[in-house]
Each structure stands twice: as structure tokens, then as C-alpha cells.
Amino acid sequence: MIDTSSAIPTAIESKHLFLRAAAGAVTERPPVWLMRQAGRILPQYRALRSKFPDFKTFVKTPEASTEATIQPVDELGVDAAIIFSDILVVPEAMGLDYEMIEAKGPRFPKVIEYQKDIDALLTGKAAAEHLSYVYEALKMTKTALADRVPLIGFAGAPWTIFAYMVEGGGSKTFSKARRMLYTEPAMSHLLLQKITDTTIAYLQNQVLAGADLLQLFDSWAGELPPAHYRIFAVPYLRQICEALPEVPKTVFAKGAWFALEDLAELPCQVIGLDWNITPEYAKKATEGSKVLQGNLDPCNLYADAATIKKETTAMLQAFGGNHIANLGHGVYPDTPLDGVRVFVDTVKEGMRNEG
């Protein structure tokens, strides 16, 4: 049993398994959902998506976003919905436009290089005002869900958004973004603060629009050396967590096993884990102070049903209580739906499958 003194009272009394588990309550079984469950893996999503010329038009259509958010709840029976959007809507709202290139990924035609580029960005509430389509989608989804499952809101963590804004897309090394931390530390902090202020305003609006829990995705956390993660990532995660006391918060810092002790001190309730961390190590590093979410290798879902069942059951047992079942990263687009179903059903059938 973890210390629930800082838990959100409304969450701990919730009728929803997911919110009770996130608040630190001991639940009859772990709730289950999958990162990136809305989208790519579902034929219903691909059919809906094909009616739109591009990803950005889709994301900016609240009716489409609502439908994509609810599809995995209907199809897979997961215990939470995550609003269909993207972490890159934040840099766009700040004035740095991106393109989503089919089958390749995001690209920013213009990147942040100099102080003047940072000065030109919108920030805080003024930037968050440009994201009304996300708030609209949250409100519509909330109504359409009719309280079947809780709704997760999300944003990218400041370091990950910084990395996209400086690199202009994905990268093998992230050497442009990492270089800036060494060569222009003051300027880096300025940009991280602007991203943080915008993210806070954005997430506050998401809560007003109905988000029940917020998850921060620090997808490129593992690119930083531990000392830099402490200086350029953790303080901004802290600011965001502190600014949103009303709802439970999950911090998912991919590759940041080295920062687990620091993350355990954040005022968040849940820590998301990738598949490189053993449950035993994570429990020890967080000293039982957090609910843990994760962390099956997404590639496990390509295996046969018996293997998925065995590995999922082993994971559930290793975490024991205070656990939200999930993968260690977003579900890969070509994952067989049957594999996803076996994973979800194994958690839901619970410990009856043991032995």
C-alpha cells in the first residue's frame, strides 16, 4: 500500500478502477490500457483516417478525434481512453509549424536555432488558446463516453518538445538538441520555460474540458545524460505537476531508468516504465512511493497467444499491487489485433490465469 495522503480525494473514491489505482488504492485487479491505443492498430481508425487528406486535418476535427478516442474502448475493452491528438500540437500553437509526412513522421520546416527564434514564440495562455480544437474534442468525448471509462489528457514533456523544436524531427543522435544544452544553457532554459508555461496553460484547459488524469510523455528522456536530465528535464516536470493539483498525473520518461529516484520525488501519482526496467528495480528505486505503469515489451504482442499470456501474467505478478498494466511504449502500428486482445484479456481475467 502506498502513501495516499497526497492522493486526489475524488480519484480515490472514483467508481473507475483506473482512477482508484492511479490514486494508490488497492484494486481488485490492475486496470489496463495501451499507450497509442487510439489509432494505427485499429482497422476502424484507418477507415476513418482515410476520409481525411492528412493527419493534421484529422487531429483538428473534434468529431474525428472523439471517434478515434472511443474506438479502442469499444473494440478492446480497455479501462481508460486517451484523447486522440499529438504532442506536436504544442510547438505548433507556439508558432512552430510541423508537417506529418505519411509513413515517415513529423518534420518542422523551421527550427529553433537562435535567441530571436525563441523570442518570436507565443507562450503560456496566448499559445494555449490556439488549441481549442483539443478542448472541444475532450468535451465531446466526455459526453460520448458517458462515464464508461475515464479520459486521459496528455502533453509532451518539455525536454521532448524542445528536442523536436531544435532538431526539426526525429533523430538518431539528437545531437543538435543535446549540443544546445552545452553551448547555450541559458537560452535552452528560456525555451524550456516557454514550453513549460504553454504546457501548463494547455493542461489546465484540458482539465477544465474534462480530462480525468494527465500523462506527460518524455519520449526522448533516455537521450540525456543523468546530470542533464536533472538540470534540463526534472525541474520543468516538477513545475507542471505542481501547477495541476486537481487531477492525478503520470510521468512516462522513456529510457530514464537512471532518473527513477528523482522522478519518484515529483508530485505525480504514477510513473510510467519502459520495458528496459525490471519491476523489481523500479519498485526499489521509487521505494513504493508511486503507482507504477507498464511495461511489457511492445514486441511481445507479436508472439503467440500462450507466450503473451505467460509474459503478461509474469509481469502482473512481478509488480504485485499498485500497478496499471500497459506496454513499455506505444503499441506498434503493425501489431496484430489478436495479440493486443490477449494482452488486455489476460489482465482483465486477472490472477485466475495464474499457474
Give the interface with ligand CP3 as residue ranges (CB under 6 A). 35-40, 49, 55, 82, 84-88, 100, 105-106, 154, 170, 217, 219, 330
Quote the least distance from Cβ 37 to ligand CP3, whole Å.
5
Query: DSSP secondary-structure letter at 169?
Result: B
Q: Quick one: which of 129, 134, 155 has its CA closest to 68?
A: 134
With 0-12 / 13-18 / 19 or more C-beta atoms within 10 angstroms meaning exposed / middle / buried, residue 322 is buried
Q: Active-site residue 164, yes or no? A: yes
Quote the least distance from Cβ 352 to ligand CP3, whole Å.
28
Q: Active-site residue 36, yes or no? A: yes
Phi, psi of 266 (to 5 degrees): -70, 150
Task: Give the residue with the Cβ less far from ligand CP3, 2 or 55.
Answer: 55
Task: Give the residue with the Cβ less far from ligand CP3, 198 or 322.
Answer: 198
Q: How far apart are CA 294 and CA 317, in angstroms?
A: 13
Residue nearest to ligand CP3 (CB): 39
Task: Give the residue with the Cβ less far from ligand CP3, 103 or 227.
Answer: 103
Q: How far apart are CA 247 and CA 213, in angstroms?
A: 5
- Which listed residue (40, 107, 230, 341) is catalytic? 40
What's the one-letter identity of residue 15? K
- Which listed residue (45, 98, 164, 236) is catalytic? 164
**C-alpha cell read off for 147:** 462515464
Q: Active-site residue 86, yes or no? A: yes
Contacts of 43 (CB under 8 A, 6+ apart): 337
Residue 152: how many CA atoms within 13 Å on its side-chain side? 29
Confirm if 298 and 37 have CB atoms less than 8 A apart: no
Quote the least distance from Cβ 221 to ligand CP3, whole Å.
10
Task: Give the residue with the Cβ less far from ligand CP3, 86 or 197.
Answer: 86
Quote the least distance from Cβ 59 to ligand CP3, whole Å.
8
Quote the least distance from Cβ 87 to ligand CP3, whole Å.
4
**C-alpha cell read off for 246:** 486537481
Task: Give the residue with the Cβ less far from ligand CP3, 248 or 330.
Answer: 330
Q: Which uninterrupted H or E stretch holds 101? A: strand 99-101
Per DSSP, the three-state class of 107 is strand
- Which listed residue (36, 178, 212, 236) is catalytic? 36
Quote the least distance from Cβ 105 to ligand CP3, whole Å.
4
Q: Active-site residue 40, yes or no? A: yes
Q: Active-site residue 49, yes or no? A: yes
Task: Give the residue with the Cβ less far from ligand CP3, 25 or 80.
Answer: 80
Q: What are the CA-CA distances from residue 123 to residues 93, 134, 201, 330 (Å)?
A: 8, 17, 9, 28
User: Which residues form the catalytic set?
Assistant: 36, 40, 49, 86, 164
